[in-house]
Chain A
Amino acid sequence: MLSRTADSLYWLSRYIERADYLARSIEAAQRLSSLPAAYAGEANEWESAVETAGSGEIFHEKHETATAETVAHFLICSPDNPSSIVKCFESARTNARAVRTALTSEMWDAINGAWLELQGLNPSKLTPRDWPKFLAWVKETSLRVDGSAYRTMLRNDAYWFSRLGVSVERADNTARLLDVKYHILLPENATVGGAIDYSQWAAILRAVSALTSYHWVYRESLKPWLIADLLILNTQMPRSLAACYHSIVANLDEIAGAYNRAGPAQRTARAIHRQLGATKIEQVFQSGLHEFITTFIADNNRVGSAISSQYLV
């Protein structure tokens, strides 16, 4: 297939996944910030929402402090934010339009339909009262796009490149969440326990829709090292780094098989996958949670560039 087509499929999936993550992270912040000050912790939850979105710098060029209003507006629709939810949908639709012939009609309909609805919703006029409904709509849309891809696309390179986009973006989102929140999960905080910590920990899980999963997997009250285990190493959890890499490797292998040729993208991804599989959560904490995450983010970016130079240009 055309490199440009693969590129558009990859990016449209990334944008939809990013919009989904932003919606979840705004929801989590809104929930946490509605608790009494003592429970919400010292950190400003809106500050960390904008940080985990990777947009702290651009945000602070325009705003002094991070409040519910400024951050939610910024993450949802601010024209100053190149990766706002609205911008993500626009970019996804631009990419989809550029490769219409590679999409099934169901996928096109899911993306174009959402874009049309968005024109009618007028997101810049939304008030905090409208957010929950809007954010639910965003998550539903990403489900529809994802579901239509899963149910209708031929299992060929077009499908594999779009799945790669989802997994690479997802790994990046989970890792950035951990990068901003890691200190809450450090052992020195674990001894405290209680309602305050519970709310903080639960917020992390909620941001990736993993609170219920946690209980099913561990059948335990919230423990910070288990939260880290769930989000980093547990392959059952679809947003964990390990699960993302499982999927990245599988899709890269499919591509290599179809093209009869593997390259740096396959090698780099496999190395990360192997390492995640061989690591125990205790080791992660011993060698430093923050260092681990920082290294992972850099590695994940390397895989992204390798995919790009091997196939997309």
Chain B
Amino acid sequence: MAFDEMTEGGGGVRAPYEKIAQWLETVPREQLQQRRLEAELFFRRGGITFAVYGDAQGEERIIPYDIVPRVLARAEWEHLARGLEQRVRTLNLYLADVYGAQNAMRAGIVPPDLVWQNPAYRPEMAGIEVPHGVYVHIGGIDVVRVDADDFYVLEDNARTPSGVSYMLEGREISIRLMPELFGQHRVAPIENYANELLSSLRSVAPRNSAADPTVALLTPGQYNSAYYEHSFLADKMGVELVEGRDLLVKDEVVYMRTTEGPKRVDVIYRRVDDEFIDPLTFRPDSGLGVPGLFAAYAAGNVTLANAIGTGAADDKVIYSYIPELIRFYLGEEPILKNVPTWRCREPEALQYVLDHLAELVVKETHGSGGYGMLVGPHASSSEIETFRALLKANPEGYIAQPTLSLSTCPTFVESGIAPRHVDLRPFVLSGSDGVRIVPGGLTRVAMRDGSLVVNSSQGGGLKDTWVIE
């Protein structure tokens, strides 16, 4: 039985949910339905959409928004935030180590071949000093809850985590649609996120840049699935939203083409993947990038956020070493738990996984978005056999974990209010002046009964996340 964040699975109500529970009892279903339609309209009219690749139907879709907020008590959040900060500091130290001194490999914490063979490892970055030593300026750490006390980190996203615009817009909607509920709680504000992001980005400008550094947000363009978010963040920060063709590099300095001629850019919050960012250094067929950008970066004339090659820290095998790395770099005990992980590259682990496929979740080491995974307890025997063959053929490519009993939250679905599984992605900002986290994050919810897949590309919805005093 999953831990329900409102009822704990029993008849009672946990303290943070007291007023929500009362509200849910009194508010008529038609009104909930009405408010949900209004929320959908708000998303649609605002063009707050995302695209699902390979879906010929709709170029733009909206994410189902569940109007019942997910609530965390302040103390729960403080604990979580401390753990997140510890985690992201470690990711930054690990990346500096991978591309620098390699202490953790020499000390035998992480097997060196795992580092070099990782497709996200960028040899071009070796020996390059990134401005202020920060690699993961924006980290999205996916956490799940299994009981009243324990949070597990499910995944670290150190490349270009998305979803923060939904966190912010979701809050705007709940303020607008449920003023009465809002009035009864003291909800910690998150509206300063863009401001914090801008401060963080400006703090990591190259040392040789102007006193008032220019920040730009680099997007692959309006056909990218997260384009709405790119434009939203650029707008809230008041920085230019640029595409590759808007930038040019001259004498290892980056400029943007403006109506008044070229203007220097110091910090680029890039939402273009490593492979596509500079056709001279990475994929030569990329039309999204900027020729010469990497040379300017290597010369220390521009900051890229996140740094190139951060994927070396967030695949699912490296994940399993993070608790050890926290102890190694910080000399602290991990605050947040890791899900026990079998690395199928290790023969005993592989054997165990093959013997227990029906109980385990098997994931591709480098997969994301909820694709290419096996959820043993929900899989048919033929799906299990398919994965058995895959695992035997390429054990390096997979890890396995026990199926966690993700917590549930009350959610408004066809049949009324029912518990649905949720996760949480808080966004952690790292600058030269420390770590910033706005209280909350993006709660994703599996809208189907019993489903554990919360990814929006697979029908997951989202909830506003409240941290209350």
* B246 A4 Cβ-Cβ under 8 A: yes
Q: Please, which residue of chain A has its CB at the minimum distance from the CB of B257? A: A3
Contact of B45 among A113, A255, A313 (CB under 8 A): A113
* B260 A4 Cβ-Cβ under 8 A: no
B18 within 8 Å of A (CB atoms): no
Q: Which bucket holds chain B's interface residue count? A: 20 to 34
* SS class, residues of chain A in contact with chain B: helix
Q: Please, which residue of chain B has its CB at the minimum distance from the CB of A112? A: B47
Q: Please, which residue of chain A has its CB at the minimum distance from the CB of B242? A: A2
Task: Give Cα distance in the complex from A112 to B43, angstroms.
Answer: 12
Q: Which residues of A contact B221 (CB under 8 A)?
A: 98
Q: Please, which residue of chain A has its CB at the minimum distance from the CB of B243? A: A4
Task: Give Cα distance in the complex from A26 to B405, angstroms.
Answer: 64
Task: Give Cα distance in the complex from A259 to B260, angstroms.
Answer: 7
B208 within 8 Å of A (CB atoms): no
Task: Give Cα distance in the complex from A94 to B246, angstroms.
Answer: 17
Known: A101-B231, A112-B47, A259-B260. A3 touches B222 (CB 8 A): no
Q: Which residues of A contact B241 (CB under 8 A)?
A: 99-101
Most chain A CB inside 10 Å of its own CB: which residue of B221, B241, B256 = B241
Task: Give Cα distance in the complex from A94 to B227, angstroms.
Answer: 12
Q: Please, which residue of chain A has its CB at the minimum distance from the CB of B256? A: A2
Interface size of A in residues (CB-CB distance below 8 Å): 25
Within 8 A of B (CB), among A34-64: none
* B259 A97 Cβ-Cβ under 8 A: no
Task: Give Cα distance in the complex from A4 to B242, angstroms.
Answer: 9
* B246 A97 Cβ-Cβ under 8 A: no
Within 8 A of A (CB), among B220-251: 221-222, 227, 231, 234-235, 240-243, 245-246
B44 within 8 Å of A (CB atoms): yes
Within 8 A of A (CB), among B22-73: 44-45, 47
B287 to chain A, nearest CB (A): 14
Q: Which residues of B contact A278 (CB under 8 A)?
A: none
Q: Which residues of B contact A313 (CB under 8 A)?
A: 257
B244 to chain A, nearest CB (A): 11
* A157 B259 Cβ-Cβ under 8 A: yes
Q: Which residues of B contact A157 (CB under 8 A)?
A: 259
A269 within 8 Å of B (CB atoms): no
* SS class, residues of chain B in contact with chain A: mixed
Task: Give Cα distance in the complex from A313 to B245, angstroms.
Answer: 10
B400 to chain A, nearest CB (A): 42
* A98 B45 Cβ-Cβ under 8 A: no
Within 8 A of B (CB), among A111-149: 112-113, 116
Q: Which residues of A contact B415 (CB under 8 A)?
A: none
Would you give the 0/1 interface string for A287-313, flagging 1 where the beta carbon is closer than 8 Å to chain B?
000000000000000000000000111
B235 to chain A, nearest CB (A): 4
Q: Which residues of B contact A2 (CB under 8 A)?
A: 240, 242, 246, 256-259
Most chain A CB inside 10 Å of its own CB: which residue of B44, B227, B240 = B240
* B259 A98 Cβ-Cβ under 8 A: no
Q: Please, which residue of chain B has its CB at the minimum distance from the CB of A100? A: B231
Would you give the 0/1 interface string for B158-188, flagging 1 where the beta carbon is closer than 8 Å to chain A?
0000000000000000000000000000000
Within 8 A of B (CB), among A238-264: 255, 259, 261
Q: Which residues of B contact A261 (CB under 8 A)?
A: 260
Q: Which residues of A contact B258 (CB under 8 A)?
A: 1-3
Task: Give Cα distance in the complex from A4 to B257, angstroms.
Answer: 8
Q: Which residues of B contact A94 (CB under 8 A)?
A: 222
Known: A116-B44, A116-B45. A101 touches B222 (CB 8 A): no
* A98 B47 Cβ-Cβ under 8 A: no
* A100 B259 Cβ-Cβ under 8 A: no
Task: Give Cα distance in the complex from A232 to B256, angstroms.
Answer: 40
A108 to chain B, nearest CB (A): 7
Would you give the 0/1 interface string for B255-285, flagging 1 where the beta carbon is closer than 8 Å to chain A?
0111110000000000000000000000000
* A100 B47 Cβ-Cβ under 8 A: yes
Q: B residues engaging A (CB < 8 A)? A: 44-45, 47, 221-222, 227, 231, 234-235, 240-243, 245-246, 256-260
Known: A1-B259, A3-B258, A99-B241. 4 other contacts (CB 8 A): A2-B240, A2-B257, A97-B227, A116-B44
Query: Can you give 14 A-B contacts (C-beta < 8 A)?
Result: A1-B240, A2-B242, A2-B258, A2-B259, A4-B243, A6-B259, A94-B222, A97-B47, A97-B231, A100-B241, A101-B240, A101-B241, A109-B45, A116-B45
